[in-house]
Amino acid sequence: MTSLAYHRDNCRLCASCELELVVPLGPTPIADDYVPASRLNETQPTFPLDLYLCHACGHIQLLDVVDPNILFGNYVYVTSISTSLVEHFREYTDEVLRRANAAAGALVIDVGSNDGSLLNFFKQRGMRVLGVDAAREIAKQATESGIETIGAFFTPELARTIKQTHGAATIVTANNVFAHADDLGGMAEGIRELLAPDGVFVFEVSYMVDIVEKLLFDTVYHEHLCYHSVKPLQSFLARHGMELIEVERIAMKGGSLRGTAQLAGGPRKVSASVPEHLALEQRLHFDKPETFRAFATRIDGVKAKVLGELAQLKSQGKTVAGFGASATCTTLLYHFDLGDKLSFIADDNTRKHNTFSPGHHLPVLPPQSLYERKPDYVVILAWNYAQPILGKHQKFLEQGGHFIVPMPELRVV
């Protein structure tokens, strides 16, 4: 490993050293580091992408940690480009305000607030808002747009400063970031520090049950250090003076968990949803390494089928491209060894056009390239969005093109 990363030897949630490698994935570069032409001569380093099970608490995690300044310092993804996520945050705001029973003017703090899309809805509902985000440029832009945002990593020290300057928070949120911090204990300490006695902490994370059931292995990349289940989360929050009082499965990101916690001994009762999810995870044997080894075997079974199909097409002289230039696509490209099998990648995101994929440096082009370059087959790397992609590109099919949907079961359209 380079000095850009290190390998930890204990569990991020409970500090146990009883860790076992259960899902080995191919090493990758930083998943969303699509490069301009000026960086094509760079060799982008790869980092291990292996999932470990903690035998003490049951948590699944990466132990190889890339320097967060590299991952997030020049972060470019902004929430507002995803209309579905913005709409999700609108509904989320109303739901959280209902649960928290928050009065007008109460303080809402979003950890990992990005461009302030979520906080903007809270502000519209009459709340005081404050964001914290490590992507300094995005934080600056959010502040300029009217959502005060601190451009820094969230720590217990920063939490104490915020409490002194802004007071205690009725609501603290952390969405798709409660998996990003290597020092998750420090983040939990900071949140506990900020919460008012009757406050709630609401977070959304990918749910390991969905990842295993739906074969969402490509959601594993270096930004996501933790792959959460209810049992490890419950004990982790308890160790940090908080109590998990409600959990809910939601559709975001292919399958996520929304958790609500309060300070230990807080005013709310624990919902039946918590023991129900604990029972589900027990039935699925989520404390056993065999469960995750079987998951890895299923992934490699699909990989073998995809590579077999592409080898056959190549022997027939067929040309193959890809569709989808997100972070998840990098994991799929590397683990399935597809880098030398595709001629280019098409993508809807204009920010990615005329960049090159991490490591393999495949050109990323607008969707129109399918009609101009006319590949025989297109592998839908963003397979979770296969239906809308197929819907938009019926013309490509009518002109004799074919799509390959690699996951969760290989199919050719």
Q: What is the pLDDT of residues 233-252, one digit of tens each?
A: 999 999 999 999 999 999 88
Task: Give dist(CA 25, CA 334) in Å, integer.
Answer: 9
Q: Answer yes or no: is pLDDT of 1 > 50.
A: no
Average pLDDT over residues 13-29: 97
pLDDT at 76: 60
Alpha carbon 25 to chain centroid, angstroms: 16
Helical packing angle, 230-239 and 184-194, nearest 10°: 60
Task: Give dist(CA 279, CA 183) in Å, integer.
Answer: 28
Domain boundaries, the chain: 79-287, 316-412
Q: What distances in angstroms separate CA 310 from CA 133, 215, 327, 328, 338, one per listed residue?
A: 42, 21, 22, 20, 9
What's the sign of the alpha-carbon dihedral 397, 398, 399, 400? positive
pLDDT at 74: 61
- The owner of tokens 């301009």 is 36
179: burial class by Cβ within 10 Å (0-12, 13-18, 19+)? buried
CATH: 3.40.50.150, 3.30.1330.10, 3.40.50.300, 1.10.3720.10. Which one for 79-287?
3.40.50.150
Q: What is the residue-wise DSSP string for 292-358?
A: HHHHHHHHHHHHHHHHHHHHHHHHTT--EEEE--SHHHHHHHHHTT-TTT-S-EE-S-GGGTT-B-T
pLDDT tens per residue across span 145-161: 999 999 999 999 999 99
pLDDT band, residue 402 (cuts 50/70/90): very high
Q: Which of 324, 333, 303 is nearest to 408 (CA)?
A: 303
CATH 3.30.465.10, applies to 316-412: no
Q: What does the block give as tokens for 51?
A: 């999932």
pTM for this prediction: 0.92
Q: Answer yes or no: is pLDDT of 75 > 70.
A: no
Task: Give dist(CA 261, CA 237) in Å, integer.
Answer: 8
Task: Give dist(CA 39, CA 36) in Å, integer.
Answer: 6
pLDDT at 404: 98
pLDDT band, residue 180 (cuts 50/70/90): confident
Q: Higher pLDDT residue, 381 or 137? A: 381
Average pLDDT over residues 361-373: 97
- Could you tell me which residues come within 8 angstroms of residue 288 by beta carbon, excluding any fewer than 6 positions away? none
Q: Answer yes or no: is pLDDT of 181 > 90.
A: no
Task: Give dist(CA 391, CA 333) in Å, integer.
Answer: 23
